[in-house]
Amino acid sequence: MEAISKNFFLYLSNNKLLDRFAKRFGAKFGADKIVGGETFTHAIPIIQQLNHDGLEVTVDHLGEFVDCEEESRDRAGECIRTIQQIASGGLRSEVSLKLTSLGLDISRDLVIENLSLILKEAEKHEITVTIDMEDSSRCGETLDIYRELKEKYPNLGTVVQSYLYRSDEDLDALNDCDPYLRLVKGAYKESPKVAFSEKKLVDDNLKHLIKKNLLNGHYTAVASHDDRIVEYTKALAEEHSIPREQFEFQMLYGMRNQMQKDLVEEGYKVRVYLPYGEDWYGYFMRRLAERPANIAFAVKGIFSK
């Protein structure tokens, strides 16, 4: 039953018609519980509150699969303005972005041009930018672009997904560029040709990648709401005397709020991923696919509006 519901919501996450319909309604149906508003201005008080609670933030201007050059340039401009507002507002926040929002599906030159402009601005303000990882068909090119720009911009991170068979080799290939990696399980619908379908194998591989990246001496963001992954990381750090400055936990806004605060109290660095923008539909559907309990607050959202 769980697998059917997961596939159903992942299928819906790609539906362009529903996406357009959702945009008209604004962030409703419970999406406002996990999205920080439609503009960065709406997100600012949320970031301030999270910072006040001891949490770091990474903001993501929602949007993906852009197929028009002008729109990709607009999106780069929005990222740059966000970076400027983070700096001028003294907010403790990084930035996350998706390469398909900057023109990955249009041309490599365009995405590199857009991303370079963002990274130049981020470098000025010492703000780290992390490239989210999208579906497996875009993984190789995303990592190539990451390697290329990481040489010039050390404040660049990316994501590796443990459900992909290729990820162990990707870690080896990235080893010499001192990567800043966020390690996750993976959120897209993938074929068994490229990804583990059994949850235990995905979880075991995430533990393996966390251990490998930390023991290779690289900064690691462990992005999971799973207690077992969090406990595993804590025990690993203890066992190998890995300093707390070498890793952080990351969780999505609105998920496991108490756990986020408990970890801060224990002295760990915790970063909250806060998406904002009108394009909330695909993000919201992927969250419903991950966790059937999220459907309850979506249903509540429908009837409370």
Q: Which of 250, 279, 283, 298 binds ligand FDA (CB under 6 A)?
A: 250
244 a catalytic residue: no
132 a catalytic residue: yes
User: Is 270 among the residues that bind ligand FDA (CB under 6 A)?
Assistant: no
Closest of 175, 173, 177, 181 to residue 152, by C-alpha: 177
Helices 167-174 and 199-215, interaxial angle, to 10°?
Answer: 10
> Interacting stretch for ligand FDA, rule CB under 6 A, among 10-18, 48-56, 225-233, 262-270?
225-233
Q: Of 60, 75, 105, 182, which residue is the catalytic one?
A: 182
> Interacting stretch for ligand FDA, rule CB under 6 A, among 5-13, 72-80, 182-190, 276-284?
182-190
Q: Which of 188, 276, 281, 297 binds ligand FDA (CB under 6 A)?
A: 188
User: Is 33 among the residues that bind ligand FDA (CB under 6 A)?
Assistant: no
The string over 142-175, giving b where at least 16 C-beta atoms fall within 10 Å of a residue's C-beta and e elsewhere, is bbebbeebbeebebbbbbbbbbbebbeebbeebe
User: Is 166 among the residues that bind ligand FDA (CB under 6 A)?
Assistant: no
* Size (the chain), residues: 305
CB-based burial label for 39 (10 Å; 0-12, 13-18, 19+): middle
d(CA 79, CA 102): 10
d(CA 194, CA 186): 12
> Interacting stretch for ligand FDA, rule CB under 6 A, among 36-44, 70-78, 147-155, 217-225?
217-225
Q: Closest approach of Cβ 204 to ligand FDA, in Å?
A: 12
User: Is 138 among the residues that bind ligand FDA (CB under 6 A)?
Assistant: no
Q: Closest approach of Cβ 124 to ligand FDA, in Å?
A: 25
Q: Which is nearer to ligand FDA, 223 or 288 (CB)?
A: 223
User: Is 251 among the residues that bind ligand FDA (CB under 6 A)?
Assistant: yes
Q: Of 19, 32, 105, 132, which residue is the catalytic one?
A: 132
With tokens 């400055």, the residue in question is 245
Q: Which of 91, 104, 159, 285 binds ligand FDA (CB under 6 A)?
A: 159
Q: Which two tokens stand for residue 183?
A: 């390690």
> Interacting stretch for ligand FDA, rule CB under 6 A, among 77-85, 116-124, 183-191, 230-238?
183-191
Q: Which of 30, 37, 103, 186 binds ligand FDA (CB under 6 A)?
A: 186
Q: Which is nearer to ligand FDA, 102 or 252 (CB)?
A: 252
User: Is 187 among the residues that bind ligand FDA (CB under 6 A)?
Assistant: yes
Q: Closest approach of Cβ 26 to ligand FDA, in Å?
A: 23
d(CA 103, CA 111): 5
d(CA 81, CA 85): 6
d(CA 163, CA 160): 9
Dihedral over Cα of 256, 257, 258, 260: its sign: positive
Yes or no: say if 66 and 102 are a contact pair by the CB < 8 Å rule. yes
> Interacting stretch for ligand FDA, rule CB under 6 A, among 19-27, 32-40, 164-172, 222-230?
222-230
Q: What 3-state DSSP class applies to 270?
A: strand
Residues forming the site for ligand FDA (CB under 6 A): 132-133, 159, 161, 182, 184-188, 223-226, 229, 250-252, 255-256, 273, 290-291
Question: Among all residues, which ones are annotated catalytic?
Answer: 132, 182
